[in-house]
Structure 1
Amino acid sequence: MEHDKLVKLFQAEFELCKVTADESAIVLSSEKSQEGYAAAALQALLNLGTKAFELRTVTPPGRKEGSVGSTPVAENRVALDALKAADFVVDLVFLLHSAEQAEILEAGTRILLVVEPPSVLMRQLPTEELRLSVRRGAAKLRKARTLRVMSEAGTDLQMKIGDYPVIEQYGFTDEPGRWDHFPSAFLYTWPNEGETNGRVVLNKGDLVWPLNKYLDGAVTLTIEEGYIREIEGGADADMLRNAFESFNDPEAYAVAHMGWGVDPRSKFDALCSEPASVGNDSRSFAGNVQFSTGPNLEVGGTRATLGHFDMPMLGCTLLLDGQPVVLNGQTVENESANLK
């Protein structure tokens, strides 16, 4: 994308984030950031009158697929203190699931993750309508104490919820200490520790990220007391089993967040045409149900495992206290949901 168009796009996004001239901002980049993003983000911030600069880092050596929480600012107090002192941080390096991100947010800094390719950003600029849709779903999720997911493929997973907060992703960060990912439109929470049991059947066509693999056949995950105990199926099951084993960490098998997407603009199969994507189309896809594994640091937990997998699934039904919010892969909305 041309520099001027990218600047305009970033400026529109930062205005949604309520970035103002009396604020300070940092663009956090590395040699692996999307080409042109740092310069465009910095120019957009300067256009808004913001006191901004770029902080360029080096990607941690050895970071591999599925590796999260290993950041370029770990054990770098100078960089970390600078990020904590800023009002707004544009994250082009992926701080998510790290202790460093939690510390920055605790200081009141707003963080916006931007790692999707330009075509995805352009197609899915956040809207107020999507924010309201996310918030309506989040209001239901906060009230619920049980979550159940079922599918014709054989999924039947039950979890107790309520001990951890609900996360709303609507694509912009406009409140102190808030994180979001541009673009995104989904919501989720973590189950109570040890209180998830049942079976998840990943069906043909479902996605496993960050392997960026749409499955060729079914994979069955048996879950007991909050952990995956068995992974069964054909070649895709072998692939997933090997990916988990590569972390040599039992906490990688823990059930993490569970939720659903609400964006009708999203393309579930976007990775076929956008291989540089990090899969937010599939996560945001209206009616997908996302099953995830691994860390829970960002919601006050203690699991700092580097192993993390997101698995958006199609055709599922998700029940909160017995009431459907997703029915056979279609969202069920209630306009009167209390947003407080």
Structure 2
Amino acid sequence: MLIERAEGKWVADFVEVFGLCKIRRGEVVAILSESQSRPVLTELAELALIQMGARAFHVRMPTPRLESSIPVRSTGASQAIGELQPVVQLLAACDVVVDCTVEGLLHSPERADILSKGARIFMISNEHPEILERLKPSHALQEKCLAGAKLITGAEIMKITSDAGTNLTVNLNGTQGRGSAGIADKPGSFGYWPAGLCICFPRPDSVNGTLVLSPGDVNLTFKRYLDTPVTFHIENDYVVSIEGSGIDAELIRGYYKSWNEADAYAVSHVGWGMAPSARWDALAMYDKRDTNGTELRAFAGNFLFSTGANETAGRYTGCHFDYPMRNCTVFLDDHCVVDSGSLAKELL
């Protein structure tokens, strides 16, 4: 296990990344955390913000009681605020919220209200600082991610295939593409670190076909590389059957079933990774406690398939899976953006 302390080099990294988010001297910045947050992240954020001359303070919430016996991981929907309106109003009145909660505010119910008055949110994934050091955002990557998002918005169909048997179709009519390298530099913007994705949340009844997870693909909720194939059959957004005879399929089937919710099986978001510094093999190098696995969502050329909450489709559930997949081909209409796991030249 790596040691967690406030290294000077990591303070410098936080100063650099906060600078990309245009945090300036005198800005009011809330460092939001909870009792189970990684202490080194809140400490690094504080030291960097003070060095930059920001007016920083802490908002620390008690980590809430579990709502069920199911272990919940990697949802991006922190329950730490608990929709307490005095806390929401306080955060909304700030210039910036540095989000160090365990799950993050990406899909939280309070996110929209906090952003509505111009506050910007910068979410730091629950990672060891060494991972953040390797995966700092950049303006160059941000431009590429935004270009990919524009391609999604302008397309009608996303088609995903692989030699393993994936054959999936996503109707993109009326769907807004999203691209982020992890920079929140405008009023009302949201960024997260590490990042580097082009994704979308499909509208209802948009996703159909077959998805085949192969050995070496990743189940990020379990922080586990797959050893055996798992096949999803998807009809009108919902995984209607899960085939596979190995332990991977058994684990996945069992976890979905434990939620006893139809929407747990529904598609959340789809897209592809863009970050050249993110590595597929990184999960093998860290203890599970040291990583949230966010890096593997972003490694360049992966197809990212996710199930769980999809606000665009009006679906909400605490069950969330991210499956970064290798060696897939992704078409937007007749335009190839990922070719057998490699980004198109225009996106490099």
Query: Which TM bucket (shorter chain)?
Result: over 0.9
* Separation of aligned partners in 1, 2:275 and 2:222: 23
Post-superposition CA distance 1:217-259 (Å, at most 9, x none): 1000000011110011022111101111122211111111111
- Is 1:232 paired with 2:243? yes
* Alignment partner, residue 65 of structure 1: 72
**What secondary structure, in the 3-state scheme, does the structure 2 residue paired with 1:220 have?**
strand
2:331–2:338 contact (8 Å) kept in structure 1: yes
Post-superposition CA distance 1:160-194 (Å, at most 9, x none): 01433222120221111211211111110022211
Q: RMSD of aligned C-alpha atoms?
A: 1.7
2:297–2:324 contact (8 Å) kept in structure 1: yes
* Alignment partner, residue 90 of structure 2: 82
1:175 aligned partner, one-letter code? K
1:202–1:313 contact (8 Å) kept in structure 2: yes
- Which of 144, 153, 162 is equivalent to 2:155? 144
* Alignment partner, residue 56 of structure 2: 52
List aligned pairs for 1:277-292, cutoff 5 A: 277-292=291-306
* Alignment partner, residue 329 of structure 1: 341
1:268 aligned partner, one-letter code? W
* Separation of aligned partners in 1, 2:216 and 2:7: 36
The alpha carbon displacement at 1:302 in A equals 2.3
**What secondary structure, in the 3-state scheme, does the structure 1 residue paired with 2:191 have?**
strand
Structure 1: where are the runs of 5+ without partners? none
* Alignment partner, residue 267 of structure 2: 255
* Separation of aligned partners in 2, 1:75 and 1:139: 33
1:310 aligned partner, one-letter code? D
**What secondary structure, in the 3-state scheme, does the structure 2 residue paired with 1:164 have?**
coil
1:169 aligned partner, one-letter code? S
* Separation of aligned partners in 2, 1:90 and 1:4: 19
Post-superposition CA distance 1:31-67 (Å, at most 9, x none): 2222321122112112222121011111122273347
The alpha carbon displacement at 1:84 in A equals 1.1
* Separation of aligned partners in 1, 2:61 and 2:8: 25
Post-superposition CA distance 1:59-82 (Å, at most 9, x none): 122273347335111131121111
Structure 2 vs 1, CA of residues 31 and 149 (structure 1 numbering), >3 Å: closer, same or farther? same
- Which of 127, 152, 155 is equivalent to 1:116? 127
Post-superposition CA distance 1:197-230 (Å, at most 9, x none): 1000000111112111111110000000111100
The alpha carbon displacement at 1:128 in A equals 2.0
1:136–1:334 contact (8 Å) kept in structure 2: no
1:83–1:89 contact (8 Å) kept in structure 2: yes
1:70–1:306 contact (8 Å) kept in structure 2: no
* Separation of aligned partners in 2, 1:7 and 1:254: 40
* Separation of aligned partners in 2, 1:3 and 1:204: 37
* Between 304-313 and 21-30, the greater mean CA deviation after superposition: 21-30
* Between 71-80 and 58-67, the greater mean CA deviation after superposition: 58-67
TM-score (norm 1): 0.93
List aligned pairs for 1:191-340, cutoff 5 A: 191-234=202-245, 235-274=247-286, 275=288, 276-297=290-311, 300-334=312-346
TM-score (norm 2): 0.91
Post-superposition CA distance 1:303-332 (Å, at most 9, x none): 221111110000000000121100000000
* Separation of aligned partners in 2, 1:88 and 1:177: 9
**What secondary structure, in the 3-state scheme, does the structure 2 residue paired with 1:167 have?**
strand
* Between 114-123 and 103-112, the greater mean CA deviation after superposition: 103-112
**What secondary structure, in the 3-state scheme, does the structure 1 residue paired with 2:255 have?**
helix
2:207–2:235 contact (8 Å) kept in structure 1: yes
* Separation of aligned partners in 1, 2:251 and 2:173: 33
Structure 2 vs 1, CA of residues 167 and 335 (structure 1 numbering), >3 Å: closer, same or farther? closer
* Alignment partner, residue 43 of structure 1: 47
1:296–1:304 contact (8 Å) kept in structure 2: yes
* Separation of aligned partners in 2, 1:218 and 1:289: 16
1:243 aligned partner, one-letter code? Y
* Separation of aligned partners in 1, 2:346 and 2:7: 41
2:145–2:198 contact (8 Å) kept in structure 1: yes
**What secondary structure, in the 3-state scheme, does the structure 2 residue paired with 1:97 have?**
coil
**What secondary structure, in the 3-state scheme, does the structure 1 residue paired with 2:212 have?**
strand
* Between 196-205 and 263-272, the greater mean CA deviation after superposition: 263-272
* Separation of aligned partners in 2, 1:22 and 1:91: 19
